Amino acid sequence: MREKPVSKLKVPVTPHDHTRGPANAPVTLVEYGDYECGYCGAAYPIVNLVCEHFGPRLRLVFRHFPLSQVHPNAEAAAESAEFAGAHDRFWEMHDGIYENQDRLGLPLLFALAEALGLSETGLRGALGSGTYAAKVRSDFLGGVRSGVNGTPSFFINGERHEGTYAFEDLAAAIELHLHAKAPL
Amino acid sequence: MSNVLSAGTRAPGFTLRVTPDQDLSLSDLAGRPVILAFYPADWSPVCGDQMALYNEVLPEFHKHDAEILGISVDGAWCHQAFAKDRRLHFPLLADFEPKGEVARTYGAYRAGEGVCERALFVIDRNGIVFWSYCSPIAVNPGADGILDALERLPHEGKTGEQTKSPSHAA
C-alpha cells in the first residue's frame, strides 16, 4: 500500500484571495468552505473567535469549496460573495450568509446585496451569466489538488489541519505554528 | 488493511450490475483510462462525502477522457436510490453476487466486515493498473491522488497500439 503524504496547500495565498487580518501576520489560516454546509455554519462562529483570540497574529483566508450537487444553493452563494468581493464587500456578504444560513436561498442573497448597497439587478445578472463561476471553480479545484475532501477544511501556514474545528484544536494548532515561527 | 493490486498489474476484468437491468464490463471502457473507487457502503457519511466530491470533480476526470466507477457490495436498487438522492452523475456498480467477488480480485475486500475497502485504482488505456491507493476505512481519500495519476498517465498512443474506442458505455 502506498502512503498518502500529509496534504499541503498547493495554491499559495495571493492578492486574488479574500483575506482578513494583516498580510504580514505570522500565521495564515486558509479555510475551504461551502456556504450551505452545516459543518461550515457551525465552524463559522468558532473561526471568528479564533481570529479575535489571535488578533493581528493571524490572517484568515476563505476559499470556496461548494458541493453544488448536494447543496443546491452553495454555488449561487459563493458567486454572490465574489460579486460582493468585486465591490469590496466580500466579508460582509460572507458574514451575512453564514449568519443567516438557515434561510439560504436567492431571496436572502438579494436581500444581503441590497443591505450592502449593491445592486440586486447586478447580482442577478452576475449569477445568470456565471460571471464569478470560474473564480469559484478555481478555488474548488485548487482545494481538490491540495487534498480537500470535504468542508470545512483548514490549512495553517500551508499545512493541512488534521484536527477538528473545535476552538481548542484550532487554537492549539495555530499556537504551534506561532512558536515554530515557520517561514511563510 | 488489504494489499490492493499495485501499479503494473493487469486490471482484472469484471461485469457487474450498473442499474437493476443493465450490466457494465470493464472491457466496455477499453482504450480509456478508468478510475475504480471501491467504497464500503452507500449512505454512510464518509462515503457520501467521497462520492459527492467525485461528482463535483467529474469534469476534470472527463478532461482526461477518464470514466469513474464507484463499486460497493450494495445492490443495484440501493445504488439507484443513493445515486438519485445525491444526484450522482457517474455509475455505481453492485459487487453484490457473489458478494465482493470483484473487490477480492483487486485485494480490496474486508472479509471480516463484508464490505469493500476504501480503495482507489487508476487503470491506464491498456488495462494496466497505473496507480492504486488504499485509504484508512474512515478517511475520505479526496481526489488529488487520482488527478495526479491521470496527469502522469502517458498520452494516448505513446504506450501501445490501442486506439481510442469511438463509443463507450454511458
One DSSP character per residue, B44-76 reads -HHHHHHHHHHHHHHHHHHHTT-EEEEEESS-H
Helix axis angle, A120-129 to A74-86, nearest 10°: 120
Selection from A76, A176, A84, A177 nearest residue A127 by Cα: A76
Instruction: Please answer yes or no on whether A1 and B142 come within 8 Å at the CB atom.
Output: no
Nearest Cβ partner of A149 from B53, B134, B147? Answer: B53
Which of B47, B144, B152 is best to mutate for the A interface (most A CBs within 10 A)? B144
Dihedral of the alpha carbons of A30, A32, A37, A39, in degrees to the nearest 10: -40
Please tell us whether the domain made up of A25-180 is placed in CATH 3.30.420.10. Answer: no
3-state secondary structure of B16: strand
> How many helices and strands, by DSSP H and E, does chain A display?
7, 5
**Residues of A whose CB is below 8 A from B147:** 144-145
Q: Residues near B170 by Cβ (< 8 Å), separated by ≥ 6?
A: none
CB contact under 8 A, B147 and A7: no
Q: What is the pLDDT of residues A59-113, one digit of tens each?
A: 999 999 999 999 999 999 999 999 999 999 999 999 999 999 999 999 999 999 9
A58, A51 contact by CB (below 8 A): yes
Nearest-angstrom CA–CA distance, A17 and B153:
32
- Condensed to tens digits (0 to 9), the pLDDT of residues B80-99 reads 999 999 999 999 999 999 99
- Mark whether B47 is an active-site residue: yes
Q: Tens of pLDDT along chain A (184 residues)?
A: 445 566 899 999 999 999 999 999 999 999 999 999 999 999 999 999 999 999 999 999 999 999 999 999 999 999 999 999 999 999 999 999 999 999 999 999 999 999 999 999 999 999 999 999 999 999 999 999 999 999 999 999 999 999 999 999 999 999 999 988 655 5
Check if the beta carbon of residue B119 is closer than 8 Å to that of residue B134.
yes
Q: Is B132 on the interface with A (CB under 8 A)?
A: yes
Distance CA A55, CA A154 (A): 18
Q: How far is A11 from chain B (nearest CA, A)?
A: 13
Contact yes or no for B140/B110 (Cβ under 8 A): no
For B81-144, list the strands marked E by DSSP: 92-94, 109-110, 115-116, 118-123, 129-135
ipTM of the complex: 0.88
- Contact between A2 and B133 using a beta-carbon 8 Å cutoff: yes
Any idea which residue has 478555488 for its cell?
Answer: A139
Cell numbers for A101: 444560513
CB contact under 8 A, A67 and B1: no
Say how many CA atoms lie within 13 Å of A3 toward its Cβ: 3
> Domain boundaries in chain A?
25-180
CA distance B158 to chain A (A): 26
Residues A158, B120: Cα–Cα separation, whole Å: 26
pLDDT of residue B163: 42
- Domains contained in chain B, CATH given: 31-152 (3.40.30.10)
Q: How many CB pairs under 8 A join A and B?
A: 55
